[in-house]
Amino acid sequence: MKIRMNTVLLGILTLIALGAVLHVMQLVFLPLVIAVLLSFILTPLVTHFNKKISRTLAVLLVIIILIVVLYVIGWFFYTSITSFISVIGYYQDRFSIIINELVLRYNLPDDILELMEISGSLRTGVYNISISFVNFAGQLIIVLFFVVFMLLENPLSERKMKMAFPKLSVQTRLSAIIKKITSQIARYLTVKLGISAATGALVALCLYFIGLDFYLMWGFLAILFNFIPNIGSTVIMIATILMSFIQFYPEWNPILATLITMPLIQMIFGNFLDPKLQGNQLDLSPVIILVSLVFWGWIWGIPGMFLAVPLAEAIKIICANIETLEPVSILMSSGKALNTRRRKKKNNPETDNAEPESSELPVDSENKEK
């Protein structure tokens, strides 16, 4: 028991030290992690092009496509945000007028005037978000260099692993960990990108028909913030409802339309379609997702919150394949995974007497003899 407690304390201290290092060396590690995640998404595309052209040309073509996409996204984000910031003073003044009018008309307490601080917070929030993305844009060149070399080195990684780890059992386990991390995170990112794009398109379309200003910007922000579980979609929902109130008051029809439409979109995509398409692939506890958001947000700010879920999933898979850390993987799992295990045990009672099933990979005959 004492040894286990020491191990837990050592793990906590290691985590704190690792967090401090990652925070201090953000300029190196943040582009590296983003490049790894991008390589997961781009590898199938490179493989597809590699069937017809050489791998070097395939990587070059994929990088050109990536640069064009990032340029279009960056240009759209810059023009939208700068246009919004240029008129945000008007919305701030209008919000103050509306609040004062409501206080006088309905004899509301003066404390409600503190709501006027929301408009200032909105302006600060938009400014901070834009600064974060501008700072991140400066690191994109480093990200692209990392991605290029990762995509080019990908075919050699298996050979390098065999030379670095001659033991077959170690090769098997490492290969399985890498494949599982790659497949699950690639699936998560692909599904999330599709769901986010559909959410953003529907948000922009609905806000266009309602008549809200900057509907394209809100649709684009809905795509981005959908990658931050729970918190991101809630922020966009509150922001659009608030902007609808500021723009349309005293007309209640468009305000009510926004008030109904935005939660409905988030409920359909966030609570129904996303979990259904992800299935049990993303096997993380909601508490772990929240802790991960706070942890990576503290280390790397807003970009860290976007990366929180893929990083938490990667950590869980690694823990599942290391015997001493397997309890950590179980604690990070969601209730759905536990229910699935219970159902499997009920359907196969003989497995109760067998060795407990884990996500570790089979060990070769060399280990069995030992």
pLDDT band at 362 (very low <50, low <70, confident <90, very high): very low
At 339 the pLDDT is 58
Q: What is the mean pLDDT of residues 273-279?
A: 72
Whole-number pLDDT of residue 4: 61
Confidence grade of residue 2 (pLDDT, cut at 50, 70, 90): low
For the ranges 2-11, 94-103, 325-334, the lowest mean pLDDT is seen at 2-11
pLDDT at 370: 40
Could you give the CA distance from residue 50 to residue 176 in angstroms, rounded to a whole number?
24
> In the 3-class helix/strand/coil scheme, how is the chain assigned residue by residue?
CHHHHHHHHHHHHHHHHHHHHHHHCHHHHHHHHHHHHHHHHHHHHHHHHHCCCCHHHHHHHHHHHHHHHHHHHHHHHHHHHHHHHHHHHHHHHHHHHHHHHHHHHHCCCHHHHHHHHHHHHHHHHHHHHHHHHHHHHCCHHHHHHHHHHHHHHHHHHHHHHHHHCCCHHHHHHHHHHHHHHHHHHHHHHHHHHHHHHHHHHHHHHHHHHHCCCCHHHHHHHHHHHCCCCCHHHHHHHHHHHHHHHHHHCCCHHHHHHHHHHHHHHHHHHHHHHHHHHHCCCCCCCHHHHHHHHHHHHHHHHHHHHHHHHHHHHHHHHHHHCCHHHHHHHHHHCCHHHHHHHHHHHHHCHHHHCCCCCCCCCCCCHHHHHC
| Cβ-Cβ contacts under 8 Å for 162 (sequence gap 6 or more) | 171
Does the pLDDT at position 87 exceed 80? yes
pLDDT at 253: 92
Least trusted range by pLDDT, from 152-161, 220-229, 356-365: 356-365
Q: Is the pLDDT of residue 320 over 90?
A: no
Q: Is residue 60 over pLDDT 80?
A: yes
Q: Is the pLDDT reported for residue 223 higher than 50? A: yes
The pLDDT of residue 203: 94
Average pLDDT of the segment spanning 217-226 = 89
Residues 6+ apart with CB under 8 A from 290: 230
Residue 361's pLDDT band (cuts 50, 70, 90): very low
Q: Select, from the ranges 122-136, 203-217, 287-301, 351-365, the one with the highest average predicted confidence (pLDDT).
A: 203-217
Model confidence over 97-150: pLDDT tens digits? 888 887 777 776 666 656 556 555 666 666 666 666 666 666 788 888 888 888
Angle CA(17)–CA(21)–CA(23) in degrees, nearest 5? Answer: 115
Top pLDDT among 331 and 341 is at: 331
Q: Which of 164, 151, 223, 231 is nearest to 193 (CA)?
A: 223
Percentage with pLDDT > 90 across the chain: 12
Q: Domain residue spans in the chain?
A: 27-164, 167-363
Question: Which stretch of 47-51, 99-103, 196-200, 239-243 has the lowest confidence by average pLDDT?
Answer: 99-103
157-172: pLDDT as tens digits: 777 777 777 777 777 8
Closest CA to 299 of 58, 113, 27, 68: 27
pLDDT reading at 249 higher than 90? no
Map tokens 């394209």 to a residue. 216
Q: What is the pLDDT of residue 107?
A: 72
Q: Phi/psi at 359 (nearest 5 deg)? A: -85, 10
Residue 260 one-letter amino acid: I
**Does residue 54 or residue 9 have the better pLDDT?**
54
- Higher-confidence residue of 345 and 11: namely 11
